[in-house]
Structure 1
Amino acid sequence: MSQEVLDQRAVAVIEANKYMTLGTVGADGRPWVTPVYFTPDGHADFYWVSSPQAVHSVNVDLNPDVSIAIFDSSVAIGQASAVYLTAQAGVVPDDELEQRAAFYSSRYPELKSFSVDELHAELRLYRARATAHWVLVRGRDPEFGTGIDSRRAVWSEG
């Protein structure tokens, strides 16, 4: 299996899923995970809208280091595909907000469009900028299978 095949698998997982699991850490050191609807911008940036009072938003404000898992939980056991990320997250800056809000809402026709005013009032547009990526390789994979599920780096720089 070439690196290109692994990269393509990761793209397919990101494109096929609407929700990602966002992992954050609170001021007390406790981890917190939450599902959020997301819009990807390639494999570098991932956007979501949340209340700034949500636990994960408060955690991101305190510590921008996050982890993310994207997967389809409806597949049969043993058929999973997943992408894992580490990232730096935060509120989208005001000078990018209008453009990024329009981009966020463009993924699906039924997705609500948010005005800049809404994203300054009760909600915020957040972005996670990926720092590393991995894709799930199932234990029975014909080329990389080891009998145990593992993860392999994708989109590596070197």
Structure 2
Amino acid sequence: MSQEILDQRAAAVIEANKYMTLGTVDADGLPWVTPVYFTPDGHTDFYWVSSPDSEHSLNLARNANVSIAIYDSSVAVGQASAVYLRAQADLVPDDELDHCAALYSARLGGLRNFTPKELRAPADLRLYRARATSHWLLIRGRDPEYGTGIDSRRPVWA
């Protein structure tokens, strides 16, 4: 299997899923994970909307380092596909809100269109972005080409 195929598999996982698990660290160094609806922009930028008062948002204000897992939890045991990321996350700057809010809302399929005004203080929500610094793809132990009998991970987009 070529690196190109691994990259394509990872892209398919990202496109097929709507939620990612976001891992942050609190002020005491304790981990916190939360699922968030996300919109990807390629495989580098990942956007979500949250309250700035939520636990993960407060954690991000102190420490921009995050971990992310994107996967489909509804598949049968042994059939999982997943992408793991390390990233730097922060609020989307005000001067980028027009573009980024439209990008985020586009994936919602008309269910909700967030305006920049709804995502800027003093509003209740903000638009966040995680910018990936490292990516890995889950390789199932029984993968016909890369399986070793034990699940592993391979770097993608390196």
TM-score range, shorter chain: over 0.9
- TM-score w.r.t. structure 2 length? 0.97
Cα RMSD (Å) of the superposition? 0.8
Q: Partner of 1:69 in structure 2?
A: 69
> How far does residue 141 in structure 1 lie from its aligned partner after superposition?
1.2
Q: Provide the aligned length of Structure 1 versus Structure 2.
A: 156
Q: Partner of 2:47 in structure 1?
A: 47
Moved more, 47-56 or 110-119: 110-119
Q: Partner of 2:18 in structure 1?
A: 18
> How far does residue 117 in structure 1 lie from its aligned partner after superposition?
1.8
1:81 aligned partner, one-letter code: S
* Percentage identity across paired residues of the two chains: 74
Q: Partner of 1:109 in structure 2?
A: 109
Unpaired runs of 5+ residues, structure 2, are none
Name the CA distance, whole Å, in 2 between partners of 1:99 and 1:145: 41
- TM-score w.r.t. structure 1 length? 0.97
> How far does residue 25 in structure 1 lie from its aligned partner after superposition?
0.2
Residue 144 (structure 2) pairs with residue 137 (structure 1): no
Question: Which of structure 1's runs of 4+ aligned residues deviate more than 3 A?
Answer: none
Q: Partner of 2:149 in structure 1?
A: 147
Q: CA offsets per residue over residues 12-39 of structure 1, 9 Å max, x none?
A: 0000000000000000100000000000
Unpaired runs of 5+ residues, structure 1, are none
Q: Partner of 1:125 in structure 2?
A: 127
1:24 aligned partner, one-letter code: T
Partner of 2:118, secondary structure, is: coil
> How far does residue 145 in structure 1 lie from its aligned partner after superposition?
1.1
